Amino acid sequence: MSLPRIAVDAMGGDEGVRVMVSGAALARRRHEQFKFLLVGDEKRIKHALDDHPNMREASEILHCDDVVGGDERPTQALRRAKTTSMGLAIDAVKRGDAGAAVSSGNTGALMAMSKLALRTMPGIDRPALAALLPTLGEHDMIMLDLGANTECDARNLVQFAIMGAAYSRIVTQQAEPRVRLLNIGTEDIKGTDALQDAAAQLRAATGLAMQFEGFVEADKISRGDVDVVVTDGFSGNIALKAVEGAARFVGDLLKRSFMSSLRSKIGFLISRPATDLLRTHLDPNNHNGAVFLGLNGVVVKSHGSANAAGVANAVAVTARLLEDNLTQRISAGLAELGEERLRETHSSGAGK
């Protein structure tokens, strides 16, 4: 199947060109239909391509030697949107030269540039950052927003739920993903006014392709009994960092325990298959690829510290969203919500 090519910000991330090109090459070895627009320093990209002959005929290079710094303010980066590798990758999506963009660069700058260039979809007030997180269930869980919007009202949360459910239907193949709002308790009386209002709207919207199941607490989000967790960007970012920190803590604690004595080292050798499975499950590279949902185009954020395998996963996520028409699915959910509200308004008016 032919897919639109993917614009890769080859200069973003901790290691830049080498890892970004290696990751794209690894993704193409798994999926030969992938094609790329590699944006960055042409000399360095060509040098990296020497190690990946499978990428030559599948790639075009757009030269650019200006890079958005990791600690650069979004407002500063916006002024150089037309000269930086990140800005030009996003602009390629806007112009139709690429179907989607992938970057491992500055998250704030990527969001600001994407929102300015691509604009939000009709019916979406704010884009949200969504990512896949591992669970004990059969599928990964989607969580949003993870930092794009620190303050959200009920309308934003309802829109996030629709976008998250559309994304979940693509990655889990479930017709009606289970959706919950992150809260300090599962009781209906718990939470802010925004959470209460959003829950009421989602319960009333019977036509949406999701199962809204109320609230979920942070310690339950990885159990496997929820597919989409919706929250504001402030709480979501804190929850994400806590989950990532807990995963590192468990890994480091196991390593320290196994190295504490000869008996522990022997125990490690015996249990190595289980610990390798745990390491694979908790490795963020295996769940890499956060998506800016709600834009008129697909933009995926890869971890700045991602290795080649992590970048390949981000590319694979990007291609899947293109293949399964993410933006159209979100539009369909918004249209259904709009029709539901029209029916409620009509019924309310008829009863007067």
Mind listing the pLDDT tens digit for each residue in 181-211? 999 988 888 889 999 999 999 998 877 888 9
> Do 254 and 158 fall within a single domain?
yes
Nearest C-alpha neighbor of 169 from the set 209, 198, 196, 202 = 209
The 10s digit of each residue's pLDDT in 79-136 is 998 999 999 999 999 999 999 999 988 888 999 999 999 999 888 888 999 988 888 8
pTM equals 0.81
Query: DSSP state, 55?
Result: G
Please give the full DSSP string across 76-89, using - where no structure is assigned: HHHTTTTTBHHHHH
Is the Cβ–Cβ distance between 141 and 133 less than 8 Å?
Answer: yes
> Do 289 and 299 fall within a single domain?
no
Is the Cβ–Cβ distance between 186 and 216 less than 8 Å?
Answer: yes
- On whether residue 161 sits in a domain, the answer given is yes
> Do 92 and 111 fall within a single domain?
yes
15 CB burial (10 A radius; 0-12, 13-18, 19+): middle
User: CA 263 to CA 73: how far, in whole Å?
Assistant: 51
Is the Cβ–Cβ distance between 174 and 244 less than 8 Å?
Answer: no
- On whether residue 51 sits in a domain, the answer given is yes
46 CB burial (10 A radius; 0-12, 13-18, 19+): middle
User: CA 277 to CA 281: how far, in whole Å?
Assistant: 6
CB neighbours of residue 109 within 10 Å:
26
> Do 26 and 80 fall within a single domain?
yes
- On whether residue 348 sits in a domain, the answer given is no
Q: Count helices and strands (H / E) in the chain.
A: 11, 11
Structurally, the chain folds into a number of domains equal to 2
254 CB burial (10 A radius; 0-12, 13-18, 19+): middle
pLDDT at 280: 56
> Do 257 and 299 fall within a single domain?
no
* CATH number of domain containing 278: 3.40.718.10
- On whether residue 209 sits in a domain, the answer given is yes
Instruction: Quote the domain boundaries for residue 113.
Output: 1-120+295-320
Which position has the token pair 């539009």?
331
> Do 170 and 240 fall within a single domain?
yes
- On whether residue 286 sits in a domain, the answer given is yes
Which position has the token pair 């979809």?
121
Task: List, in order, residues 6 or more apart from 320 with CB less than 8 Å away.
Answer: 170, 171
Three-state DSSP state, 346: helix
> Do 26 and 163 fall within a single domain?
no
> Do 25 and 162 fall within a single domain?
no
Q: How many alpha carbons lie under 13 Å from residue 340 in its C-beta half-sphere? A: 15
> Do 303 and 248 fall within a single domain?
no
> Do 75 and 133 fall within a single domain?
no
Last residue of a domain, one of 278, 293, 308: 293
* pLDDT tens across the length of the chain (352 residues): 567 899 999 998 777 889 899 999 988 888 888 899 999 999 999 999 998 888 888 899 999 989 998 888 988 889 998 999 999 999 999 999 999 999 988 888 999 999 999 999 888 888 999 988 888 888 888 999 888 888 899 999 999 999 999 889 888 888 899 999 999 988 888 889 999 999 999 998 877 888 999 999 988 888 888 999 999 989 988 888 887 777 777 777 767 776 767 666 665 565 555 555 555 555 565 667 788 999 999 999 988 778 888 888 888 888 888 888 888 888 877 777 665 554 444 444 444 4
Query: DSSP state, 121?
Result: P
Which residue spans within 189-328 are E strands per DSSP? 211-216, 228-230, 290-293, 298-301
Last residue of a domain, one of 257, 274, 293: 293
- On whether residue 145 sits in a domain, the answer given is yes
- On whether residue 347 sits in a domain, the answer given is no
pLDDT at 349: 45
CB neighbours of residue 231 within 10 Å:
27
- On whether residue 345 sits in a domain, the answer given is no
> Do 210 and 130 fall within a single domain?
yes
> Do 14 and 99 fall within a single domain?
yes
Nearest C-alpha neighbor of 43 from the set 15, 21, 23, 14 = 21
